[in-house]
Amino acid sequence: MPDKFVCDTSIILNGQILTLIEDGELGEKPEIFISNIVVAEVEYRTNVHKEIGFFGLRVLKELRTLHDKGEIILNIVGKRPSREEIKMAPGGELDALIREYAKENNAVLITADRIQGDVGEFEGLEVLFAWERKSKEELLPISLRILEYFDDETMSVHLKQNIPPYAKKGSPGNWRLLKINNEPMSNKLIEDIAMEIAEVTREDQHSFIEIEKEGAVVAQMREFRIVITRPPFSKDVEITAVRPLVSLKLSDYSIDSRLQKRLEKAEGILVAGSPGAGKSTFSAALANYYLKQEKVVKTLESVRDLQVEPEITQYTKLEGNLENSADILLLVRPDFTIFDEVRTTKDFQIYSDFRLSGVGMVGVVHSSSAIDAIQRFIGRIELGMLPSILDTIIFIEGGDISTVFVLKMTVKVPHGFRDKDLARPVVEVRDFKNDRLEFEIYNFGNDVVVNPISSKYPLRGREAPSSRMKKEKRIDLDIEVKKQKIIIKANPEYASQNILIFADNQQIFTGSLSRNSDISLSFSNKEAKKILKELNNNREIYAKIK
């Protein structure tokens, strides 16, 4: 009489039931009982587009194939669970029903769930714990189909249903998107590749599922970061696999001893750059460098794909929330935390909280320039706190360091202002290489102004929108001609500002309004003579903010 075995959901979802049968551990032609509870759970996960559901469904289909071949005897038992029973599943009601089937059929319970097995043993059942195999070859299977699309120059592979496969080849900042072949990906092929990835990721102790949501799964399969999407999230099934081509040391970058010393004492670092520029590769090199400096280094990543030394613990979202992770990480007291990547307002707040708690931070941000990386903090934190949170900006371009900015707070009259009474706190942004002042950041009324000082940075897009609107706005002027002088008066809201004075559409000179919002000109002054001339020609005189 064949041996009898009842499978719970865990043994189907991890696929170990197939391994047990293949290895002959269940005897010759075992009798396998699958309850409708297990079928319903697998079906539910598949219906909500969970990748584990598709994998479980594949396992069930393979069991049916083995039954048809006469290698096992497959029985589907029990009734389908009701809606109320499904709602009570977290309380263990469905697991209890599966154990009941094992008792009724005098069968061995096979599970990968420690609680389920322990309770089964307590109830007198014979339990076979089937954990994921940890003794498998350390390297990924060479036959894994996703690997066939990679070569030594491939950074990422892009597979989409009914579209030929593409690959991004080259190096950070210097790559091309190339068609791998002209054969469109069939639905069966792309589904088989997705199932292989899910299977290997769950069986390999060095791989894991990072994120799983309806229609999307993010897997870290050794050094490969793989994103699988399907309807309703994406129109078609799509697989994107990314592999870091290089693992660099800090010495591989354009970095001199002066910058290296700066990085040793810098504690609020932003690593910025466009997608694919090499930000994460540099951040990993910096993390490994700090480790060699005998620092305690941790990482905080939504997807744990930084290529760092094994001594560096990589943290991700705790209970789906980076704030929870940050609370735990603060208790660990690292010297440096690599935050890859800083995107949302909550992320910026976490970065700021860590810095103000004394933790050295290296944040990775997407931006088109070094100053844009700084601007992403403006409005999210008080301006006066900015230099306490950020002190060094490293912009990566083409896989190497392109620009390094340092921040410092000072009190001064901003560039372009003449009245000494306008002195205020100003954040100076300087080029680390030559100590040249590149930008000034300061409050002006209700606005934050990011003022480019260097001529290599155009004005466009460097100031708060409301400031630009003020500059474009026409300012009406009252002009009084007295005994020996002309008084030009503007609305009080423009007091102490530099203005451009126009006659019709022609600029005639530049001036600075006093704290009383006026300019007083003697008749002997050449600007006064210009004003008198334009008044005599009945031209309209007005101003704009400089």
Closest to 427 in 3D by CA, of 448, 445, 446: 448
The average pLDDT across 244-273 equals 86
End-to-end CA distance of the chain: 95
Domain 145-242 in the same topology as domain 4-129:
no
The average pLDDT across 432-438 equals 92
Domain ranges of the chain: 4-129, 145-242, 250-463, 473-545
Cβ count near 528 (within 10 Å): 20
Q: Is the pLDDT of residue 432 over 90?
A: yes
- What letter does residue 385 receive in the DSSP assignment? G
pLDDT of residue 88: 60
- In the block, residue with structure tokens 């003579």: 529
Q: Are 429 and 407 in contact (CB under 8 A)?
A: yes
pLDDT of residue 411: 93
**Calpha distance 80→83 (Å, rounded):** 10
Dihedral sign, Cα of residue 244, residue 249, residue 252, residue 257: positive
What strands, in cross-sheet order, belong to the sheet with 108-111?
Answer: 73-77, 31-35, 4-7, 108-111, 127-129
Give tens-digit pLDDT for 485-538.
888 998 888 888 888 898 887 888 888 888 888 898 888 888 888 888 888 887
Question: 539 falls in which pLDDT band (50, 70, 90)?
Answer: confident
pLDDT of residue 460: 44
Q: Are 119 and 94 in contact (CB under 8 A)?
A: no
Give tens-digit pLDDT for 66-96.
999 999 999 999 888 876 666 566 667 788 8
Question: 457 falls in which pLDDT band (50, 70, 90)?
Answer: low
Question: 469 falls in which pLDDT band (50, 70, 90)?
Answer: very low
Q: Is 162 exposed, middle or buried (0-12, 13-18, 19+ CB in 10 A)?
A: exposed
pLDDT of residue 224: 87
Q: Label residue 317 left, alpha or beta by phi (over 0 means left) and psi (-120 to 50 means alpha).
A: beta
pLDDT of residue 137: 44
Beta strands 31-35 and 4-7, pairing class: parallel
pLDDT of residue 173: 66
Structural tokens at position 364: 């990775």
Cβ count near 425 (within 10 Å): 14
Assign domain 4-129 one CATH number from 3.40.50.1220, 3.20.20.370, 3.40.50.1010, 3.40.50.300. Answer: 3.40.50.1010
Q: How far is CA 179 from CA 78, 405, 428, in A?
A: 51, 39, 47
% residues pLDDT > 70 (the chain): 91
pLDDT of residue 455: 63
3-state class (DSSP) for residue 470: helix
- Which is the CATH superfamily of the domain at 250-463? P-loop containing nucleotide triphosphate hydrolases (3.40.50.300)
The more confident residue out of 319 and 2 is: 319
Cβ count near 420 (within 10 Å): 8
Q: How far is CA 21 from CA 64, 116, 333, in A?
A: 13, 21, 48
Q: Is 393 exposed, middle or buried (0-12, 13-18, 19+ CB in 10 A)?
A: buried
pLDDT of residue 430: 94
Question: 27 falls in which pLDDT band (50, 70, 90)?
Answer: confident
Cβ count near 437 (within 10 Å): 13
Q: Which amino acid is at 278?
A: G
Q: How far is CA 46 from CA 43, 168, 529, in A?
A: 5, 31, 83
**Calpha distance 213→324 (Å, rounded):** 20
Question: 343 falls in which pLDDT band (50, 70, 90)?
Answer: confident
Q: Is the pLDDT of residue 165 over 60?
A: yes
Lowest mean pLDDT among 132-136, 183-187, 208-212, 357-361: 132-136
- What letter does residue 146 receive in the DSSP assignment? G
Q: Are 539 and 504 in contact (CB under 8 A)?
A: yes
**Calpha distance 307→287 (Å, rounded):** 10
Q: Is the pLDDT of residue 191 over 90?
A: no
Q: Is the pLDDT of residue 4 over 60?
A: yes
| pLDDT, mean over the chain | 85
Q: Is the pLDDT of residue 458 over 60?
A: no
% residues pLDDT > 90 (the chain): 32
Question: 466 falls in which pLDDT band (50, 70, 90)?
Answer: very low
**Calpha distance 63→26 (Å, rounded):** 14
Q: Is the pLDDT of residue 264 over 90?
A: no
**Calpha distance 109→96 (Å, rounded):** 12
Domain 145-242 has CATH 3.10.100: no
- pTM value? 0.61
Q: Are 138 and 131 in contact (CB under 8 A)?
A: no
